[in-house]
Amino acid sequence: MTMKAYVFHGPNDMRHERVAKPEPGFGEAIVKVTLTTICGTDIHILTGGYPVKPGLIIGHEFVGVIDSLGLGVTGFQIGDRVAVGAITPCGQCFYCQNGVSSQCGGALGGWKFGNTINGAQAEYIKIPSAQANLAKIPNDLTDEQVLFVGDIMTTGFSASDNAPVRLGDSVVVYAQGPVGLCATAGAKLSGASLVIGVESIPSRQEMSKRMGADIVIDPTKEDPVAAVKGLTDGRGVDVAIEALGSSVTFENALRSIRPGGILSSLGVYEGNIEIPLDAYGAGIADIKIVSSLCPGGSERLRRMMSIIKNRLDLTPLITHTFSLDDIAEGYRIFGGKLDGVLKVAIKP
């Protein structure tokens, strides 16, 4: 049996193809994809900024319905609606057992979909370590409501988790793209008393306030570092979150924190970044820099869906919808930040 898929063959070379439908092995599940999307990391892959092997189906943010189950997977049945994280930890290796399941098996090893194994821009997807990674979707939540729990939401929230953001903290979030918007929401829900967004695109500025920003700075109209210092009695914020993957925003985030503050980095960087000596206090300013790769696993997703159910609506982030046949147009609009796009939904 075959299925439709959008297959990567090299930088700026993606093709619609029919490929073999996957079959589940021991501990695996096959999920029929009902809704997926395009992530900023997919753009890095498409342009060659992040290399993956030709012939791979990419995409790692999706929801669907269980189509078949391999031996050893219990507590689920065919037809269950499920969310699955972009990160699929095994739960048993050295890294999982030491609390860094996103690095399952080694550096970046938890990220398999569209990186080392076939991803979600297809009709069906194979789920590794399914017992640890399938999360049932509550009946009263739609696919659109939970589409982002497995990647941009859990990633955005991890910035505050890892800092950590404390009650009453001041936080600045550099870049209000999809991940930055989730980081803004996460900071607010974590108890920050002042959340500052930094963004130049008007539609994203508006969405930033909707997601919890108290103030949004336009870096094309004023120096964001000076503005942040002005809002915090000259000290700088307790936590700065970098959500773009740019050396410029990384440096600005570093310069925006107070002595003893924390830079929580979410960006995927395509080149080297530098740490200015003065901004880092010559290494003795008690500054911390932390990074994270979106936490996965069924319990993390359950918690994210609980927040969606009771505290947060992310459906406004879906600004465009395409079929799998028209996904190339989705890539063009999303990659070019055209037509006020935030996220596109892809329906296989």
Q: CB count, 10 Å around CB of 94?
A: 11
Alpha helices in the chain (DSSP H): 40-47, 94-97, 130-133, 143-146, 154-162, 178-189, 202-210, 224-231, 247-256, 298-310, 327-336
Phi-psi region of 96 (alpha: psi -120 to 50; beta: other; left: phi over 0): alpha
Q: pLDDT digit of tens for each residue in the chain (348 aa)?
A: 999 999 999 999 999 999 999 999 999 999 999 999 999 999 999 999 889 999 999 999 999 999 999 999 999 999 999 999 999 999 999 999 999 999 999 999 999 999 999 999 999 999 999 999 999 999 999 999 999 999 999 999 999 999 999 999 999 999 999 999 999 999 999 999 999 999 999 999 999 999 999 999 999 999 999 999 999 999 999 999 999 999 999 999 999 999 999 999 999 887 899 999 999 999 999 999 999 999 999 999 999 999 999 999 999 999 999 999 999 999 999 999 999 999 999 999
- How close are the terminal C-alpha atoms of the chain, in Å? 16
CATH of domain 2-147+314-347: 3.90.180.10
Which pLDDT score, from 0 to 100, does residue 271 have? 83
Does residue 102 contact residue 111 with C-beta atoms inside 8 Å?
Answer: yes
The DSSP secondary-structure symbol of 101 reads G
pTM: 0.96
Q: How open is the CA angle 324-328-330, to the nearest 5 degrees?
A: 80
- Closest Cα partner for 304 from 194, 129, 156? 156
Which pLDDT score, from 0 to 100, does residue 21 have? 98
The DSSP secondary-structure symbol of 104 reads T
Distance from C-alpha of 9 to C-alpha of 151, rounded to nearest angstrom: 24
Q: Can you give the residue ranges of every domain in the chain?
A: 2-147+314-347, 153-291
Cis previous bond, 128, omega within 30: no
Distance from C-alpha of 116 to C-alpha of 152, rounded to nearest angstrom: 20
Which pLDDT score, from 0 to 100, does residue 316 have? 97
Residue 299 CA, chain-centre distance (Å), reads 17
Six token digits for residue 36: 């997926």
Six token digits for residue 327: 């996904």
Helices 298-310 and 154-162: crossing angle in degrees, nearest 10, is 100
Distance from C-alpha of 161 to C-alpha of 176, rounded to nearest angstrom: 18
Six token digits for residue 169: 């903290």
Distance from C-alpha of 54 to C-alpha of 111, rounded to nearest angstrom: 17
The CATH H-level superfamily of 153-291 is: NAD(P)-binding Rossmann-like Domain (3.40.50.720)
